[in-house]
Structure 1
């Protein structure tokens, strides 16, 4: 069986936004103990370098065949995670970008120099990683990274990022309108990155934000047709699965359970609550079995009591003729006395 791992959105939690962590990836793997191989689905603009390398190292340590599949966008540190697969594929219209790490800092000149040294250390780590993974020298790599290069499918194959042809794109979009990178950004940084991403959307023909599509822990796609891609599903949202109204319960990679009735999201059960609900349902089933058992015992008692009353009634009816005979004999005796 081939399991599925989903890495969607920013890598790491920072700047007030929750992202994909190493713990999230480990949890997905642990929930699929029977998997003999994994497909790692990546749709990420990047994020924290350390977290990205942690996820990459963990995936490599799983010891099972990995196929990484990029869709929507694979950028920044997400490209490092992408390299964890022995087979590496992209869906059509997927944006792929590499660059040098960057961020911003405030402080004294000494503090800024210290931050610059740390940033250069991260640069060296990334360059060394790409050199080893792609078998390229620094003269080939550094210009690509320095210029924030968006690579074409042919370039990706030639450089060694991908190992097979593009996967035909499904008629859905997974792109997000914003993304965060490593560091504490100023408003100017955010506006610059948002404008850059807007240009990318225009370049690849995504002029508007598409509907929200999420995948559960088994890979089933849930399409929230009325929600924009950056929205968070809430109770009351309508969704379809394979074109049909969503129905039933679906466990998400983060541990939440979405409950649908006739295409409407009626309940979102958090992971801890889901365990409690499961326990309560189990207890409810046990109580129902006990109640049915008690009902059976009551019916049996009723049958026994009914049978006893019927038996006593028969005995009483059997006694009546004897009682009538005695009464008749008494009357005959009295008549004979009168005659005397």
Structure 2
């Protein structure tokens, strides 16, 4: 037979600022009364929805559940909505530690403040608080398999774990599968004698039937989260749910979300600002200032571009000069050819003294040309 234990509310009777006991709460006495009223149980499903409370009362509940395990009762702890602080130890009493949907799982160091007293009394208080802290770290490490070096800073920072992280670190073992109650109607006229239920059930059939009834009664009237909703993760792995959006939709300003009020940096660099269950703003990615090395490289590129432009201008000027020089050389060649023709036209071959006369005439022609 499967029994049910509900730990809903603050663990222990803790007074508020006005001295009134905070509600709802569950005491160790409540736990014992719930369990002892169910006779012959072979399994106990412990449903936890608690922000924590007194460490000592949480320890008493844990020890009581362990004593039931020693008597052969299988313990299964199941988290609804929230499990934090002192409630974590109760969670770790389960052979199976299951999560319903996406509850909040939080671990932190124990805290408190001493009352009035002398130095010895205050010092003793702090020593007890430190001893309690170290004891919790040792217990978490031995039960979950996660190292003390990893757990200690997480507790100091008051860390909220996602369901996936809670499973990865050993605080939970998996997700709880609900068995929904389906509305059905039967007619007595359609039930034949051969398929009527027997008036007697064996033990296994009875336990199965009770299991289904208890599960259905517990979840009766509760609304399930829509399965096809938009879920995104920020750069740190924190999930943001948008219940009104489809999986393929893109969140925009004004979209409703179940995420806590905060600023979430997305993998693409955008920042989602969430307030009062709504996406209030989407900040664009901040452009990073260029590094000194990058700035120096950009300056070098600019200098090279300027230098190339100057060289291009120089090449163009040289090409222009070369063109002008080519034109002048062409003019010289024309004049040279004309001169060559002029010299050739006045030359006559004669023997003896006529040769010398020709040479004088030739020199005269050159002289005239220079004067021109």
Higher relative contact order (CA 8 A, sep 6+): 1
Return the index of the structure with the highest Cα Rg. Answer: 2
What is the TM-score when the length of structure 2 is the normalising length?
A: 0.45
What is the TM-score when the length of structure 1 is the normalising length?
A: 0.49
